[in-house]
Amino acid sequence: MDERLEDFTGLLRQNGLRISPAEVADAAQATLLVGMEDRAAFRGALRATLVKRGQDAPVFDRLFELYFTGAKDLVEGLQDSLLDALESEKLDELQLEEIARMLARMSPLTQALAAGRADQLARILRQAMLGIDFRGLQSPLQRGFYARRLLQAAGGSLAEKELQQLLHLLQQRGLDPARLELASRKVSQTLQALEEAARRVADREQKARDPEARGDKSLLHRSLASLTADEVQRMRTVVRRLAERLKTRLSRRRKVRRRGSLSVRRTLRKNLSTGGEPYKLVFRARRPERPEIVVLCDVSDSVRNVSRLMLQFVYTLQELYARVRSFVFVSDIGEVTHLFKNMDVSTAVDLATAGRVINLSANSNYGHALRLFHNTWLGSITRRTTVIVIGDGRTNYNPPNAWALADLKRRCRRLIWLCPEEQHSWGFGDSEMPLYARHCDRVESVRSVDDLGRVAAELMP
């Protein structure tokens, strides 16, 4: 149970709950006291020890239902058991006693299937689930693999073999063809019910780990500016998963690029000893290239959601880069890199956008923020640095100071601007996006998490 509890609390953390190791220990102790047989008491013990904020209760309830759905509720098709069918056919007592003696020597799973005992089957499946690490179950395409693992752990192969042995015994004892056909059909139905139960378990486990499968898919296309605080919390898991997938893709891409240019001298030396057959090319080793990232995030009300999710996205990828530095601004600008060194990403994002470093009540002033960054940190920007600006470019009619952005572009490797507004609104009112865009290598409209995943896959160095 300890492993399952750790896995469950890990899912809760991924979905925004803050749970300390001490609270996990309290939950383990509480569940030990109440047990798992009383589902309501078990749920209450977990909720009392793991949920501290009212806003987290719906998240806990949703994940609990997906993660701890009773295996008994997943078992269908065992209502009319093999033994019931045989008894209804009025076998003589000697035949029934022989079947009972044979079943007594078989595995608990075979006995539960033959007797149609959904409660026993539930306990067997639940025990088998404890021995499987479902954390790798991230895609619906993996459900079949994990269902087979669950069947194997529960003893499915042995049960199938033993049920076939039971049919063979009935045939040897002279059971007439019609009754034997009925028994064979019941065995097939029973094994099919077991396989379907395993698939349902795998399906529930996968959904517990996939926000899109839990009904959050529509949020992928929603405007980030319109998301509520609770929806932003839910989307953090989606963003983290997008970043993890992109991390894998970027790592593979860099491995392909590791081979350097052809070394003529080393190639000739390598082939002298063989007379050039077969002729082998030798390439110089490419120096590992790990670019630096600097992120400038507008954290005013209109774009705070975008900045929060983008910061999380970038820092999930941070091991791919030599250094990641983050700055937040409204009018003043301040560095928040230190927060990510000492805390987990979610906590650091919360603090970075909570007004601990700069005044969030000020009116947006891009020109002032750009000038301050230029005067204070421009010297730290090199040709290895990719700068990402996240903001709507609305200056409240203050001077835009685009010259500061132009100087920044001259010093950095690439300058990318992600704007949460649609392009047709750029340049209207106090928007200076057309001016700022002239000094960027790439400008993209990022209005949803779906946009973020698409653009990041193209632009991240």
Q: DSSP letter at 418?
A: E
Does residue 436 contact residue 406 with C-beta atoms inside 8 Å?
no
Does residue 57 contact residue 9 with C-beta atoms inside 8 Å?
no
Cα 296 from Cα 288, distance rounded (Å): 26
Q: How high is the pLDDT of residue 432?
A: 95
Q: What is the mean pLDDT of residues 233-243?
A: 69
pLDDT band, very low/low/confident/very high, at 217 (cuts 50, 70, 90): low
pLDDT band, very low/low/confident/very high, at 76 (cuts 50, 70, 90): low
Residue 23: phi, psi to the nearest 5? -70, -35
Please give the mean pLDDT across all residues of the chain.
78
pLDDT band, very low/low/confident/very high, at 70 (cuts 50, 70, 90): low
* One-letter identity of residue 453: G
Cα 147 from Cα 127, distance rounded (Å): 14
Q: Name the β-bridge partners of 91.
A: none
Strand 292-298 relative to strand 283-285, pairing: unpaired
Q: How high is the pLDDT of residue 429?
A: 82
Cα 12 from Cα 51, distance rounded (Å): 10
pLDDT, one tens digit per residue, over 119-137 is 778 778 877 876 777 767 7
| Comparison of pLDDT for 255 and 139, the residue scoring more | 139
Cα 340 from Cα 215, distance rounded (Å): 30
**CA-closest candidate to residue 237, choices 6, 22, 21, 63:** 63
pLDDT, one tens digit per residue, over 45-54 is 898 899 887 7
Q: Token pair for residue 122?
A: 């539930």
Q: How high is the pLDDT of residue 366?
A: 96
Q: Helices 57-67 and 2-14 meet at what angle, rounded to 10? A: 140
Q: Is the pLDDT of residue 436 over 90?
A: yes
pLDDT, one tens digit per residue, over 334-362 is 998 888 887 877 788 888 888 888 988 88
| Comparison of pLDDT for 62 and 5, the residue scoring more | 5
Q: Examine residue 291 and say whether the peptide bond preceding it is cis (omega within 30 degrees of 0).
A: no
Strand 292-298 relative to strand 385-390, pairing: parallel
Q: How high is the pLDDT of residue 226?
A: 65
Q: How high is the pLDDT of residue 245?
A: 67
pLDDT band, very low/low/confident/very high, at 271 (cuts 50, 70, 90): low
Q: How high is the pLDDT of residue 168?
A: 85
Strand, coil or helix: 257:
coil
User: In the chain, pLDDT over 90 holds for what percent of residues?
Assistant: 16
Rounded to the nearest angstrom, the gap between the alpha carbon of residue 291 and the centroid of all alpha carbons in its chain is: 26
- Lowest mean pLDDT segment, chosen from 149-163, 225-239, 416-430: 225-239
Strand, coil or helix: 302:
helix
Q: What is the mean pLDDT of residues 273-281?
A: 59
Q: Is the pLDDT of residue 140 over 60?
A: yes
Residue with token string 């989606």: 238
Q: Examine residue 58 and say whether the peptide bond preceding it is cis (omega within 30 degrees of 0).
A: no
* One-letter identity of residue 269: R
Helices assigned H by DSSP within 155-277:
156-172, 177-209, 229-256, 264-272
Q: How high is the pLDDT of residue 84?
A: 73
pLDDT band, very low/low/confident/very high, at 272 (cuts 50, 70, 90): low
Q: How high is the pLDDT of residue 382?
A: 92
Q: Name the β-bridge partners of 415.
A: 387
Q: What is the mean pLDDT of residues 396-425?
A: 92
Rounded to the nearest angstrom, the gap between the alpha carbon of residue 97 and the centroid of all alpha carbons in its chain is: 53
Q: How high is the pLDDT of residue 210?
A: 64
Cα 130 from Cα 70, distance rounded (Å): 13
Q: How high is the pLDDT of residue 381?
A: 94
Q: Is the pLDDT of residue 34 over 70?
A: yes
Does residue 126 contact residue 71 with C-beta atoms inside 8 Å?
yes
Q: Is the pLDDT of residue 16 over 80?
A: no
pLDDT, one tens digit per residue, over 288-322 is 566 788 999 998 877 777 778 878 877 777 767 77
pLDDT, one tens digit per residue, over 84-115 is 776 666 666 666 677 778 888 888 888 888 88
Q: Is the pLDDT of residue 259 over 80?
A: no
Predicted TM-score (pTM) of the model is 0.51
